Structure 1
């Protein structure tokens, strides 16, 4: 039986993030100014044609699903990778820490700069449109952050977790991980996340923190030809 997280982008744009969806009943995407993710309903001719029509010529989209990603003729893959999708084995307790604060639009440029430096995944100035982010600052400087990305019925993706290289190995990432997971669990939603399959250190950390592998996932970054 298929799981709604097998096609996480489509499921999110049908439920928790339906208000952000662009497209039709056959294919949808997030506004590219927020995040480049897109998906089609299935691999039917109608869905693939609708997916092809979403981007402008030369525009990039990111497709993620458990099954091999099928492309219409008008889209070409520019990057391919394998991810792991991990899911929490249990709810997380809500915690508090005076160093953690909610981030706002005023922090957007600092958030993008930190994400650009550490590369936790696709990130834009409008990432906060997807969900709340929290951070740790030192002398007014954002040094670590974490938040939420895709949301489906009963699930929320922990994402954007990163720490400035000058402040790594001090426990900030683990603290924010537990904090964000607790905030998601407090809404009675199950926490899940994605990581590149080759990022063995991160996968080991997530396993130690109570996550298990749900599925390998296929990522294809695609571009419209003409």
Structure 2
């Protein structure tokens, strides 16, 4: 079952492509390990067997988190959250290396988790750093901003995890790190892209001013199979 474009079903494209080493599979259903990312994936136009497989892959009490052009769970499944996210692609971003940016490593993960916990840029887990290159800026030895790579699909790499400590906002650190991450992606011959929640109009304006162009709207759904306990 082919896909019209890798970005249409980006998690599936990543887990069947450059990030297949992360893939936990049951039939056509795929997911990242729980300590890497919460995202799961089904092929385009999944059938009842695919939905049964992803329910089994989630396990008892587990929610199913999917992102695609459209996500319509079968009858009886509970939709816990449905969010419109916008997918933006590089359309002339002024990507540039940054002399202050340092590559973050496993030794930095506790600080990265703490920064993400304070700023909530989206899911960041103990092994998320393994998904790609993460860069940070430190002040007085303290990690005050970071940005990195999350989904990798054929020809494309997602910029994610962009966050700045509250005490350091307004200095353009997040923007600088985004441009530095974009430079690294381009150097590997890939095209940067990113996602932003549609209601975050300030972020959308910033990304468009940097040279990202709206590609299309996507749907993010957290759902659960019939008979499962409520998700907290």
- Same fold per TM (> 0.5)? yes
Give CA deviations for 1:158-207 in whole Å, capped at 9, x if unaligned: 00000001100001011101100101111110100000001111100110
Change (3 A) 1:134 1:123: same
Partner of 2:61: 58
Match of 1:10 among 12, 27, 34: 12
1:117-132 matches, cutoff 5 A: 117-132=118-133
**Residue segments in structure 1 that go unaligned for 5+ positions in a row:** none
Partner of 1:70: 72
Give CA deviations for 1:17-68 in whole Å, capped at 9, x if unaligned: 111000134110001111100011132222222111111222233210112x
**Which secondary structure state, in structure 1, belongs to the residue aligned with residue 199 of structure 2?**
coil
Q: 1:92, CA displacement in angstroms?
A: 5.1
Q: 1:120, CA displacement in angstroms?
A: 0.8
Partner of 1:159: 160
CA contact (8 A) 1:66 1:217 kept: yes
Give CA deviations for 1:75-109 in whole Å, capped at 9, x if unaligned: 53222111000000146544231x21011111111
Partner of 1:41: 43
Tell me the number of residue pairs that the alignment of Structure 1 and Structure 2 aligns: 224
- CA distance in structure 1 between the aligned counterparts of 2:97 and 2:127, rounded to whole angstroms: 27
Q: 1:216, CA displacement in angstroms?
A: 0.4
CA contact (8 A) 1:52 1:75 kept: no
- CA distance in structure 2 between the aligned counterparts of 1:75 and 1:104, rounded to whole angstroms: 40
1:115 aligns with 2:111: no
Change (3 A) 1:33 1:134: same
- CA distance in structure 2 between the aligned counterparts of 1:96 and 1:39, rounded to whole angstroms: 34
- What TM-score, normalized by structure 2, do the two folds share? 0.91
- CA distance in structure 1 between the aligned counterparts of 2:113 and 2:76, rounded to whole angstroms: 31
CA contact (8 A) 2:26 2:54 kept: no
Change (3 A) 1:118 1:93: closer
**Which secondary structure state, in structure 1, belongs to the residue aligned with residue 58 of structure 2?**
coil
Which aligned runs of 4 or more in structure 1 are off by greater than 6 angstroms?
Answer: none
Partner of 1:96: 98
- CA distance in structure 2 between the aligned counterparts of 1:26 and 1:58, rounded to whole angstroms: 21
**Residue segments in structure 2 that go unaligned for 5+ positions in a row:** none
**Which secondary structure state, in structure 2, belongs to the residue aligned with residue 54 of structure 1?**
helix
Partner of 1:206: 207
- What TM-score, normalized by structure 1, do the two folds share? 0.93
CA contact (8 A) 2:93 2:210 kept: no
Partner of 1:85: 87
Partner of 1:182: 183
CA contact (8 A) 2:79 2:223 kept: yes
